[in-house]
Structure 1
Amino acid sequence: MTGNLIYIYVHTVWTTKHREPCLHKSFRYKLFEHIRNHAHNKNIQLEIINGVEDHLHCLFKMKSTQTVAEIIKVLKGESSKWVNESGFVNNHFQWQDGYGVFSVSPQNVGKVKRYIFNQENHHKVKNIDDEFFEMINLLAE
């Protein structure tokens, strides 16, 4: 084999500071588009991004030279700066320090993409805590 073949997908979740519901629809999709463009510029393969008022989900296809920590640091740092400079929120905007990361097998990529795409529907009946524990329980099975 002359090259590398890498199929490592990760589903990440991170929240606003104190889970403040400040990602209003009025700018949320502009934020997601900004993160998508910044990821592209940094050679990060972001498959899908979506979320609700207090958190977002991303699906990344990793490269062999990248780490999850580096990717999230780059995207969280730059996007919080952009939100503050754009004036979309009244107070100083921050992301929570931590994040969740879940490995995704290639055969489940489509299912995870649909799950991320349908975030608003999921959160009509579940909050972030319920969602997070559900993901953990699915992995434990």
Structure 2
Amino acid sequence: MAGTFAQIYIQIVFAVKGRDNLINASWEEELYKYISGIVKNKEQKMLAINGMPDHVHFLIGMKPSCCLSDLVREIKKSSNEFVNEKKYSKFKFQWQEGYGAFSYGHSSLNEVIAYINNQKQHHKKKTFKEEYKQFLEKFNIEYKEEYLFE
């Protein structure tokens, strides 16, 4: 019996353009449901999603046939339109260019899910910029400071 068998877990992180605090607690749950719906419609599995007023984290179980950059592009484009059509923000809502994608093994899932679910508590001690740089350093991703944030 031939087949493709894979377990690919990716945490995706991206910010509101200019890292503005535009995601309001009154509608963030709707945004997360909308993003989760896109992930499901693209036949991927949402394992956790949460964020702060200026950024979002989510963990997906991804099939090997999925193109991550296409998925993220669709999530950002569609969720931009969703927020603006619903007039959730009095300012034009837009995600910043780029994103972070970090892979994990199955044994790390509970820890990553807890980390995502505890974003509000976590960011009482650490800024998004500090957090993001820590991810890049933890995963040995080279970067230039001047290109990190708009």
Q: Same fold (TM over 0.5)?
A: yes
Aligned amino acid, residue 90 of structure 1: K
TM-score under structure 1 length normalisation: 0.94
Aligned equivalent of 2:65: 65
Name the residue aligned to 1:106.
106
Q: Secondary structure of the equivalent of 2:90?
A: coil
Q: Which moved more, 1:79-88 or 1:60-69?
A: 60-69
Match of 2:78 in 1: 78
Which residue is equivalent to 2:48? 48
Does the residue aligned with 2:71 lie in a helix, a strand or coil? Answer: helix
Question: Which one is further off, 61-70 or 130-139?
Answer: 130-139
Question: Please, what is the CA RMSD of the aligned residues?
Answer: 1.1
Q: CA deviation at 1:72?
A: 0.3
Deviation (angstroms), 1:42: 2.3
* TM-fit CA distance, 1:47: 1.2
Q: CA deviation digits over 1:78-129, x for unaligned, max 9? A: 1110000001001211000110111111111111111001000011111111
1-10 vs 81-90, which moves further: 1-10
Runs of 5+ consecutive residues of structure 2 not aligned to the other structure: 141-150
How far did 1:138 drift?
A: 2.4
Distance in 2 separating the partners of 1:37 and 1:93? 19
* Residue identity (%): 32
Cα distance in structure 2, aligned partners of 1:89 and 1:50: 18
Distance 2:75 2:45 in 1: 12
User: If the length of structure 2 is used for normalisation, what is the TM-score?
Assistant: 0.88
Q: Hey, what does 1:39 align to over in structure 2? A: 39
Residue aligned with 1:26, SS: coil
Structure 1's unaligned 5+ residue stretches are none
- The aligned residue for residue 4 of structure 2 is 4
Runs of 4+ in 1 over 4 A off after TM superposition: none
